[in-house]
């Protein structure tokens, strides 16, 4: 699989570590079901990026599953976090949204779904730290504007559409500046049911 996946590393970096430009995310060590869901979404048009769609169009689910499991199995060190470039007020707002959410906006805390360590939850919820700031900003913006879709009910679209652009920037700034914990692995489960119904997550305790 390592030889077969050379096409992926052209954009996602050696062993899926992430590209240096900040727009192609790390895929090494992500939960396998999450990676599989994204591959299917690109192939089937729920995520809009022609290069990925064209690359994956001829591949069946079984092969996409092999790709997902290959990258999920890689345990590779993370780079240092990106230094924050925002002011203290922006970073404080980002931390609030991540740790406590915003009840007035009906936005749950990120930790309620992505785990207290923000390293995701097996089998299908991704990490939020260890990701490039520009990638986080772009993906939250894509959900907000309807360019990115997840399986229904699309909880991330609901959340992103309740956030102002400055909130998305605050989230991206704060998350990208956080160190990755050791060991850098997704949690096995959440301590409580997720606050929103989210299609395709498969998280223990989550609504189906």
Assess contact for 204 and 41: CB atoms under 8 A.
Answer: no
Domain residue spans of the chain: 6-72, 88-176
Mean pLDDT, to the nearest integer, of 126-148? 93
The pTM of the whole model exceeds 0.75:
yes
Question: What's the token pair of residue 99?
Answer: 């740790």
Determine the pLDDT at residue 206: 37
Matching fold, domains 6-72 and 88-176: yes
Q: What is the pLDDT of residues 72-86, one digit of tens each?
A: 999 988 889 999 999
Please, which residues have CB within 8 angstroms of residue 175's CB and are 6 or more apart in sequence? 94, 98, 110, 118, 128, 129, 131, 133, 136
Q: What is the CATH number of domain 88-176?
A: 1.10.760.10
CATH class, 6-72 region: mainly alpha
44 vs 93: CA distance, rounded Å: 36
């Amino acid at each position: 699989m390592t030889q077969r996946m050379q096409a992926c590393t052209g954009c996602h970096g050696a062993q899926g570590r992430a590209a240096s430009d900040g727009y192609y995310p790390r895929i090494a060590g992500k939960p396998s079901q999450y990676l599989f869901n994204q591959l299917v979404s690109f192939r089937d048009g729920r995520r809009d990026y022609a290069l990925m769609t064209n690359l994956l169009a001829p591949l069946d689910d079984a092969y996409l599953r092999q790709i997902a499991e290959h990258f999920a199995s890689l345990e590779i060190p993370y780079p240092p976090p990106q230094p924050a470039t925002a002011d203290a007020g922006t970073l404080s707002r980002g931390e609030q949204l991540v740790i406590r959410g915003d009840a007035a906006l009906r936005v749950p805390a990120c930790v309620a779904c992505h785990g207290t360590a923000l390293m995701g939850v097996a089998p299908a919820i991704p990490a939020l730290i260890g990701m490039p700031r520009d990638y986080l900003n772009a993906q939250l913006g894509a959900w907000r504007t309807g360019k990115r879709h997840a399986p229904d009910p699309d909880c991330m679209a609901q959340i992103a559409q309740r956030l102002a652009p400055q909130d998305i920037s605050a989230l991206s700034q704060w998350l990208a500046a956080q160190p990755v914990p050791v060991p850098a692995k997704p949690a096995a489960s959440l301590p409580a049911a997720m606050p929103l119904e989210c299609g395709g997550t498969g998280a223990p305790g989550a609504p189906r």
